[in-house]
Structure 1
């Protein structure tokens, strides 16, 4: 009898890494988002430029969500540069999970050169990047900055530096393969902590100058780990945590029923009488929920005139 050992490789899934580097003077976040960006593309039939723009925003948002202090907190990001893609809207949660959409998922692609998407051209620069944090307090925190390039990474770096007074470098990228699907996606944030020195800043600048595009790095380290990438970037990287992240929308038929309960009772009854039901689609995940005529009447029966 011949025994055959099968080695099943653990395919790297989307994950987020938090670390401290340079004598713990600098905070490092790295996230792999290939699968969740692919899910966004599948859900909305995103064309390449739309996929790159939304994917970059989802990637940075995942790291920003992980910066929140409690599971009850969340943040929303809106980017509108008045370009042909329209608005980019993303929600991020403290566990690093995200959801989002763009106004025009089928925006016509613009190229800088063959094989290089011009994300800034479809996003535009005549507008703002706004971050609204729901910290479970009486009022939400909101910060807004003018768009710098529409390329997403530069715009987030400007937001952190100006709105949150934290010198920050942001790199993000989405690589679309020749088959039109997401080959790799991810992002990185380097943040100077209060005790960071000029030497620390110079070292970070040197590392960033020699860094390959983020999508290339994610692709090259796809068979290893984000820990390996962090250690290759900084010899003294102290890994704090790694956690899985995903495209996750908490919508449900129950929530959609609550939403129906916020409109006029007469409108709900009209849908029951004339349409004999209705379908509601979630903007954030494109999931559709059907309500029968009986379900609509049951909702209306609990509403005030």
Structure 2
């Protein structure tokens, strides 16, 4: 069974955007709310469904990295997909790192996700803005590239992390994460992700869903869900009209067939600290530390994920050097 995917991105050209989807739909500014993800079962456990509103999370990522429209759409899709996979594949204090290594101008995209809903990331080149594609949507494929690798490393608390890797199959990312789930995790899935970017590069909405097929699911259920997903309004349209993650799931599976299991708050949260950077400095060679002391008389560390800066004085570096040489 092959699912149709919903991956849609738009650039807002004015204060009001008209999207023709059956009838004219006007996108108006909505008040922001905390991001969260819903986990559910449907059709007596034949399907597992996740839906997420990741607007504030992606909005924060865009602000931190000053990303431009095409880069923001790709970055936001990656963050949204990671939020879905982390809730499906992780438990407790487990965490994962997603790397998208395409041949497009954004370069490598890295996202960290945890089972508790923490997300953070960075991209090699955030300043990518491309012409709209032939569907008048942001050219995510052009930004990411159609050739490369999607690699996911899961830290499950074992001696060795598990790493799965698949080639990029489209560069649109929804399809690529779907392919990863089928090939690396052996879980047939349908993943839809969306980011709506304003003209000033800020994020209007972001969100998505993932439907997973459980062993023993009937052909009747799969046919029904495939049709529902194919006829689903664009994710950005639903979110602009305040469709919640719960309602998104109901539109896919039907309220009467759905059992909500859990609600998880997600957000862009970096766990960097000066202590962690001090440990990193302590791991470099004493020769390099001496150069920092003698030539620079100090050091400054910058977190890739949140851009926070940590300053180490000459005195602090000398203490680190003394600790290393003990």
TM-score by length of 2: 0.86
Distance (Å, rounded) in 1 between the aligned partners of 2:69 and 2:50: 26
| Partner residue, 1:252 | 273
Q: Is the 8 A contact 2:67 2:201 kept in 1?
A: no
Distance (Å, rounded) in 2 between the aligned partners of 1:45 and 1:69: 30
Instruction: Give the alignment partner of residue 125 of structure 1, picking from 132, 146, 150.
Output: 146
| Partner residue, 1:229 | 248
- Ranked by relative contact order (alpha carbons within 8 Å, sequence separation 6 or more), the top structure is 2
Q: For 1:77-130, what per-residue CA distance to the aligned partner results, in whole angstroms no more than 9, with x for missing partners?
A: 111121111111111101122111110011232420485111001111221111
Q: For 1:30-74, what per-residue CA distance to the aligned partner results, in whole angstroms no more than 9, with x for missing partners?
A: 011111111111111001111110110101101111124432211
| Partner residue, 2:13 | none
Q: Is the 8 A contact 1:83 1:125 kept in 2?
A: yes
| Partner residue, 1:266 | 287
| Partner residue, 2:325 | 304
| Partner residue, 1:5 | none
Confirm whether residue 42 of structure 1 aligns to residue 63 of structure 2. yes
Confirm whether residue 149 of structure 1 aligns to residue 170 of structure 2. yes
Instruction: Give the secondary-structure state (helix, strand or coil) at the position aligned to 2:217.
Output: coil
Distance (Å, rounded) in 2 between the aligned partners of 1:241 and 1:173: 22
CA distance 1:227–1:108, shift in 2 (3 Å): closer
| Partner residue, 2:236 | 215
| Partner residue, 2:26 | none
Q: For 1:144-184, what per-residue CA distance to the aligned partner results, in whole angstroms no more than 9, with x for missing partners?
A: 11111100000001111111111100000100023321000
Q: Is the 8 A contact 2:32 2:56 kept in 1?
A: no
Distance (Å, rounded) in 2 between the aligned partners of 1:165 and 1:68: 12
Q: For 1:239-296, what per-residue CA distance to the aligned partner results, in whole angstroms no more than 9, with x for missing partners?
A: 1011210011111111000000110112112212211211111112221111111111
Distance (Å, rounded) in 2 between the aligned partners of 1:14 and 1:155: 24
Q: Which runs of 5+ in 2 are unaligned?
A: 1-29
| Partner residue, 1:3 | none
TM-score by length of 1: 0.92
Q: Which aligned runs of 4 or more in structure 1 are off by greater than 6 angstroms?
A: none
Alpha-carbon offset, residue 189 of structure 1: 0.3
Instruction: Give the alignment partner of residue 179 of structure 2, picking from 151, 158, 163.
Output: 158
Instruction: Give the secondary-structure state (helix, strand or coil) at the position aligned to 1:158.
Output: helix
Q: Is the 8 A contact 2:97 2:110 kept in 1?
A: yes
| Partner residue, 2:205 | 184
Q: Is the 8 A contact 2:50 2:210 kept in 1?
A: yes
Instruction: Give the secondary-structure state (helix, strand or coil) at the position aligned to 1:117.
Output: coil
The alignment's C-alpha RMSD in Å is 1.7
Distance (Å, rounded) in 2 between the aligned partners of 1:290 and 1:115: 45
Count of matched residue positions in the alignment of Structure 1 and Structure 2 = 295
| Partner residue, 2:52 | 31
Distance (Å, rounded) in 2 between the aligned partners of 1:11 and 1:122: 27
Distance (Å, rounded) in 2 between the aligned partners of 1:201 and 1:246: 32
Alpha-carbon offset, residue 216 of structure 1: 2.2
Instruction: Give the secondary-structure state (helix, strand or coil) at the position aligned to 1:169.
Output: strand
Distance (Å, rounded) in 2 between the aligned partners of 1:180 and 1:207: 32
Instruction: Give the alignment partner of residue 278 of structure 1, picking from 291, 295, 299.
Output: 299
Q: Is the 8 A contact 1:47 1:109 kept in 2?
A: no
Distance (Å, rounded) in 1 between the aligned partners of 2:97 and 2:129: 26
Q: Which runs of 5+ in 1 are unaligned?
A: 1-8
